Structures are given as structure tokens and as C-alpha cells.
Structure 1
């Protein structure tokens, strides 16, 4: 039997890992059943492919121990050193395995996906991630559960006499070479015959994701996180590509400023020019279906629903991506998402032709406000290198004078509530009011980009503000965010500069992007409201559009003529 002899520990771990992976996959399948319809053949298919991935991961995990068994002389079998190495290796591998299973479940709860590039990106920001996990889950109990699971398997292996047989058999090198050689050959061959993309060929996204294995997906994402654009994407010749995009962007009220390979345009917007101060509140994970205007019956956002009744509402706007940096990318440069990493996170993203640059040309002071540490996702670097001052809850080293921007840290005495991701939306809006008041006193028109954090796991917020307890889930966080926006608007109305302020409320992305299909368009539907425009009263823009079209539309409503490189259109 494979569970008897020198290789018994290796094969016992191998079998345990595959069985536990099967149980995790089954649990995630059960969670997903209400959201999609699986046929029997689909379920069988995802289990067969899933077994292949689990088998491959188990091969990688036992690789070092396999080489150890091959190279350790028979005379040292069962010695104290052999036992110490074996027990340590097994304990470490079991702990990593069980912890990864727990991490997969939590990641699925947030993204309904196996590990992907988001998990890879999050490794950089250990403070936010570790504290978010600690605040969202009873981490001591979970770590304790992982340790108990490790001890349980040790006990099971002991009862099965796995260790006794492993330390008793003196296996000759030739027989070890045969066993280890087969395992090593399978380990080498596995990544060549089993790519993570094999699980992405179906049309049912849940089936695709459930087929995968978390660890395998993680390393695939790590490997492919920085693909060479020219090497891995099918490209049109540059001249043809520019002809296509120029044809798509051609509008009656615009003209290209250069011939050939350029999309820089001048857009003429007739009508009276209005230059208000502008504050854009970019709300974390604000799906359209949180509002009654889009079918919600839970009364989660009474403030936004009321504002939508008396201001400009986009009823058919869609997010450009599934992460905050994708929303920022779309809202700051009016361009669709680029393959690979977001422009916000890429090197060489300074001095771009941004929306902020258009405000700069009109004499506006620009500030980026964030409730967390703007080091996260390279936000401070991106906004700072494109002319914005920074106000955030910084823990990282302050920006230097490289980009001639000022950074203001929101101090402890200005914070009444804080969690892993940042300060409460109320505290953030108070910082916006303080900064805007100062800019008004200095006689500077201002454009402020505000990024909230309260509607993010662990979904905690100040107690007593709303009728849902802090940390109770997404519904409470949505309701609190709505409350904080309402409070902010009330404070705005008391300012002397309220009569000349336009406020934009828009989402960075939806709360969840997972669906039955690879791209479920309903999971990208977001609300957008523009308040206090010169022409008061309810207005509706019902044409299908995206975040990239927001500012071209706003500049048209304000009567601005603009020159920029952008692909958004006015609606």
C-alpha cells in the first residue's frame, strides 16, 4: 500500500490535501448554487478539472520532501534528524494548506473568485490586508482552528501508523529513485500540460472559478501579473489602430488637433460658460441596485434616492472595471481600462493628459482626498505626479517635493472612527470641508477628488448613527455611507460657497462583479448623480455610458471648450 513504507508521510499528506480541496470546492459550490444553474455535466466537469489542479498543487507542495526522501541515505532513516525534518515539513505544509483553504473561502466571500491578480496585488499592502482580516473575522479562533486541524491530521497519521512505517523501512536508492523519479516527472510536466486558462474556457463563470485551485491560481496570477503587452496581445498596425479610434471618436463638436497618429481633440461646447467649484465623491463599491431607483426595496439609500429625484441622474452608467484603481483610471483620464495593470499602478504615469489637467488649465486648485493611506495601490504617487495635493490618513513616508505637491495628514484629533481601510466617511468629509473652506478663503477655485472607504469590508462604522449595528454586513455599510453623504450635503448648504459648487456622486465599481457569465453586465451597473447644476431640477441621462463619459458630459453642461486626449463622449 502507498500508505505503508518510506513514502507513507508524503502520500498521506498528498491524499489529505486532495480530499480537503475537494471539500472546499464542494462548500463553495453549495454557496454558489442559488446564484447559477449547474447541469450535472457541468458539476462533473468542474470536479474532474478541479481534481487535476489539486493533484498538481499537491505535487508542487511535496516536491522538496520528495527530493529529501530520494537523497537521504537509508542508514539515516528513522534518526532523530530525519524525524525532526519530517515532522517540521509536515506541520508547515499542513498549516499552509489549511490557512490557504481559509483564505480561499474569505476571498470567495469578497470577490466570488479563486485567487487572482487582486490577491497578488494585496501582498504589497500587508497592513490593510492583515488588519482587514483581523477586523472582519475572529482571527485567533480561526488560527486556533487551523492548528487544531493540523493536530487532528497528525493524530490520524499516527493512528494509521504512517510515521512508524515511514521511519522503519530502509528503502534502497534504486527503489527510491523509481518512486521519486515518477513524482518528480509528474511535477515537471504538470505546469506544461495544465494551464490556469484551461479552466476559463466555459461560459459559466462560477463553473470556471470552481474548477480552479486557489494556490495554482495564485501563482498563475503572479506569473502573468506583468505581461508584455506587445508579446501577449494581438495588435493592429499602429496607423490602422489610430484610424479606427479616430473614426470612433469623431463628433460634430470636436476636431482633432493633429493629423495621423494622435487622438488629442478640441471639443467645442456652445453656451454660457460656468466655472463652479467641483467636488466628486467616489463611493467605494456602490452598486446601482442599492438604490430604490434601480429596484431596491430595502430603503438602504434614502439620501441618494432623494437627491436623484431633484438633480441630474445617469440611469444607465457602467463601471470600467472591478477595482478602485480601475474606477480612478476611468474618472481621471476618461479612457477605458488598459490590459494588465491599471495606469494608476504603473510606472511612468506622471504628467498625463488628465481631467485634472483640464481643471488646471482653467485655474483650479486640485486635491485628492482619501480616508486611508494613499500609499495603497500607488494612489498618492499617481495623483501627486499629476498635479494634485494629497489629504489622507497617511502612515507611509510623506511625499517629497518631487512633484511640487503638498500632503496633509488627517491627524488623530480629527478622527472619531477608524478601521483597517481608513477613517469613517464622516471624518473624511469633515476633512474635505476644512480643505475647501481654506481654498475658498484663499480665493482659489477648487476641484476635489474624494475616495471613500466605509463601504468596504469589515463594514464597520461609528455606532449609533444608523439603525443597523456596525460590522453587521454590507447593508449597514451602504446605509451608513448614504447617511454620511446626507450629513455632508447639509454641511455644504451652510457654506458661503455652496451657491457655486457642483457635487458629483459616483461609484468606483460595484460591490460584486461575479455572475453566471464571464462578464455579467448587471454587475457593472453603477449610479451617478450630479448636484447643484445651473439648471436646477430633475434631469435624466438614460443613454448607455461609462465612467469615462462623465467628465466630457460635465464639461459640456458647463459650456467648457476643452483640449485633451480622452475617449469619453458627451451625453
Structure 2
């Protein structure tokens, strides 16, 4: 959330989304706002969780969530809309089913289109989490039987969403981005398991660009700078992310957990940990093998994370 929205490496410790004084930051929403877009955030449960409502609310997003009990601060100048019970067909402890939240997105998109209001919608889905439950009959794997069913259901929901979107008058002028946060079994761990941070990302429905498979190493922070470049948009920012199609792009990726911070360039991996410890490894696509530290690589990772933290701590990431 921090990496995609702010286009910076994840800062040490708590995510910026959970910190105080995280309002009026220069996020991707500022780029959209300057282009005349309205920013929307959708979440299928109460956005009080992980401080999402507060973070998105103070950074140019209107909120769509279940609205149970929690309220936004009076200092937040945003609108909040409740996803009502009669709009939900299935719900578990994580929130409403993926196809329910996609249905809500389609409804709001129709409303915005009817008023000729361009919009950017950020949608957080939750069905691919334990207990892996979903409405019976959607796919051929029983609800609650495991991750394989949840993955297939998530895929079904995306396909159903796109099929319905294709019938809308706004489809031809809409770009869709799908991106994960991490793979399975990587959350809430101190250690960094590189293979569990190799995720999929798609930029879909840009007819002016040929379909292609990007095989070079990129990061979540690069997604929107790449899109903005593909749209030929100009803007001034402190984004760390780059256009991955630029000839000067240097492949690398960032991985962060609660304590450790990692940077990967090809097979080379450097991990910073508490007490100013640092270790360098070679990644063989299965395991990490520790090697001698390259001082330049060490400086590179420290400079990326430390400057990102410095900019936030000194209010230099704020919208001007």
C-alpha cells in the first residue's frame, strides 16, 4: 500500500499508512487529481483496519467500505460511503467477497461516467485469505477447503469483473491494473524469503501499446510511474519508482518486513536488519547463499531506505 501509493521503498518500522502526520502527502492520487480525476478507495470491511481510512482519507481519496462503527477524524476532508448489506452476497471475517466489491466498483463507475467525472479507483480485495471461504457454486472447489480454492475464486472474480466491465460504455477508455502485495506465507515474518515476494502485476486495456511480457526485475513502486509514462502524462514528484520501459531503467526490487529491509538486483540480495546489521547473498532461485559484502551495494540499499525515511520524517513528501 505504501509502496504503490507513494512510489517509495517501504520505510523502516511501521508503514507510513499507520503513522501519525501522514496527511497531504504527494501520492499517485495527486497526479490523478491534477489531471481532473476523482480518487476513490474501496475496501470490503471496515477501513479502520490497518488505519486505511485515515491514510486514504487524508490523501485525496473518498472512502467506500462497510462503515461499521469507526468514523473518520473530523480533520479529514473526504467523503465516506457505506457498502450496504443488500449489496453483499457473501462475507467472512476479512470482509465481503471479491465479486461483491467488484460489483460495487462497477456501480460507482457507472455513476461517475453518467456525470462525466473521470476517476481513479483503488480496490483492496480480501477473499484470498484464510479461512478461504466464498459463495458456494462460484467455482468447482468447495468453499473453505484451502488456498487453491481461494486462488481460483479470486481468478473467477477478476474474470467476471472484466467481462461485465467490457459491456460498459466507459470500458474503452479505462485502464485496469492488478497487483499483489506478496505471495503466500510471507506476511508477519521477520526473515525475508525472496521467493515469496515474486508477485504478478498486469496493466490491461491500453490499446495504443502492444501486449508484452515484462521479464526484467521491477518493483511495486514502478507500476504507476510506468503507467503515467505510457499515458504521456507529465508531472513533478519525488517518486522513487521509474518507467520500466525507459532505456535508462536499472532493474532492482525492494522487499521489506517489520524488521528487515531488502534490495535485490538480479542474483544479488542485500538485507539490512536491526542493530545496523547487513548481509549480502546470492539468490539461486531457491535459497540465499551468504557472500562477501560489496560496499557500493550496501551504500545503495542504505541510501534508498534512509532517504525515503528522511523525506517522510522531515515532511518533505508532502503535497506542495
TM-score grouping bracket, smaller chain normalisation? 0.7 to 0.9
1:391 equivalent in structure 2: 64
Q: Is the 8 A contact 1:419 1:460 kept in 2?
A: yes
Separation in 2, partners of 1:518, 1:375: 28
Once the two structures are TM-superposed, the CA of residue 400 in structure 1 deviates from its matched residue by: 5.4
- CA distance in structure 2 between the partners assigned to 1:414 and 1:334 by the alignment: 33
SS of the residue corresponding to residue 541 of structure 1 reads: coil
* 1:449-500 deviation per Cα after TM superposition (whole angstroms, max 9, x unaligned): 0000000111100000100000001110010000000000011001001110
Residue correspondence of structure 1 range 256-335 to structure 2 within 5 A: 328-335=1-8
Residue in structure 1 matching 2:230, options 527, 541, 557: 557
Q: How many residues end up aligned between the 2 structures?
A: 243
**1:540 matches 2:213:** yes
* Cα shift at 1:534: 3.0
Could you tell me how far 1:523 is from its partner in structure 2?
1.1
Cα displacement string for residues 231-284 of structure 1 (whole angstroms, at most 9, x for unaligned residues): xxxxxxxxxxxxxxxxxxxxxxxxxxxxxxxxxxxxxxxxxxxxxxxxxxxxxx
Bigger relative contact order (CA 8 A; separation at least 6): 1
Whether 2:37 is the aligned partner of 1:364: answer yes
- Aligned residue number for residue 505 of structure 1: 178
- The question of whether the paired residues in 1 share the 8 Å contact of 2:46 and 2:70 is answered with no
**Residue 127 of structure 2, aligned match among 443, 450, 454:** 454
Q: Name the TM-score, length of structure 2 as normaliser.
A: 0.73
Shift of 1:520: 2.5
1:146-169 residue CA offsets vs partner (Å, 9 max, x unmatched):
xxxxxxxxxxxxxxxxxxxxxxxx
Q: Higher helix share goes to which structure? A: 1
Q: Does 1:466 align with 2:116?
A: no
Written as runs of structure 1 = structure 2, the 5 A alignment for 1:472-511 is 472-511=145-184
CA separation of 1:552/1:536 partners in 2, compared to 1, >3 Å: closer, same or farther? closer
Does the 8 Å contact 1:375/1:396 carry over to 2?
Answer: no
Shift of 1:538: 2.2
C-alpha separation in 2, matches of 1:538 and 1:387: 32
Alpha-carbon contact 2:54-2:73 (below 8 Å) kept = no
- C-alpha displacement at 1:397, in angstroms? 2.9
Give the structure with higher Rg (CA). Answer: 1
The alignment status of 1:403 with 2:73, answered yes or no, reads no
Bigger fraction of residues in strand = 2
Tell me, which stretches of 5 or more residues in structure 2 are unaligned? 245-320
CA contact (8 A) 1:352 1:386 kept: yes
Answer whether contact 2:64 2:80 (CA < 8 A) is retained. Answer: yes
Map of 2:55 onto structure 1: 382
Question: Which 5+ residue runs of structure 1 have no aligned equivalent?
Answer: 1-327
| 2:258 equivalent in structure 1 | none
* 1:346 corresponds to which of 19, 22, 40: 19
Q: 1:443 aligns with which of 101, 112, 116?
A: 116
1:117-171, Cα deviation, whole Å (9 max, x unpaired): xxxxxxxxxxxxxxxxxxxxxxxxxxxxxxxxxxxxxxxxxxxxxxxxxxxxxxx
What do residues 424-470 of structure 1 show as CA deviations (whole Å, max 9, x unaligned)? 00110011011111111111110000000000111100000100000
Question: Once the 2 structures are TM-superposed, how far is the Cα of residue 398 of structure 1 from its aligned partner?
Answer: 3.1
CA RMSD of aligned residues (A): 1.6
- SS where residue 449 of structure 1 aligns? strand
Equivalences for 1:22-41 in 2 at 5 Å?
A: none
Q: What is the distance in 1 between the residues matched to 2:192 and 2:98?
A: 31
Residue pair 2:88, 2:96 contacting (<8 A) in 1 also: yes
Deviation readout 1:361-411 (Å, 9 max, x if unpaired): 111000000111100000000000001000011212333553221111111
Tell me the equivalent position of 2:88: 415
